[in-house]
Structure 1
Amino acid sequence: MNGYVPEFLKDRFPVRPIGHLHVFLSDGAEDNIFPREIGRKNAAFLKKKEQK
């Protein structure tokens, strides 16, 4: 499954800590829909939430 966290959601809705969850996040170099930069942003966003 592919996806991303839109910027407006990050600012508009609070997200609870996710440190208790196991998350697998990947991206692909040949993905025509979601570029790798979106995967990197998602990973950074989730890591920040994991630490809270």
Structure 2
Amino acid sequence: MNKIKKPQLLRKWYRCPVCGCKLLIYDNTTSCANVFIKCRTCKKEVKITI
């Protein structure tokens, strides 16, 4: 019986485009659109689309 190959997960940090602070970790299977997060460092609101 053949084994099912799982996709290799690649985890990355999503960084704030204004100050470069790390905001969240996502992997290559993630999909999100129109999510807003407020950066802790520069206090700007960032729209995330992955």
Q: Comparing both structures, which one devotes a greater share of its residues to helix?
A: 1
> Normalising by structure 1, what TM-score?
0.21
Larger Rg: 2
Name the structure with the higher strand share: 2
Output the TM-score relative to the length of structure 2: 0.22
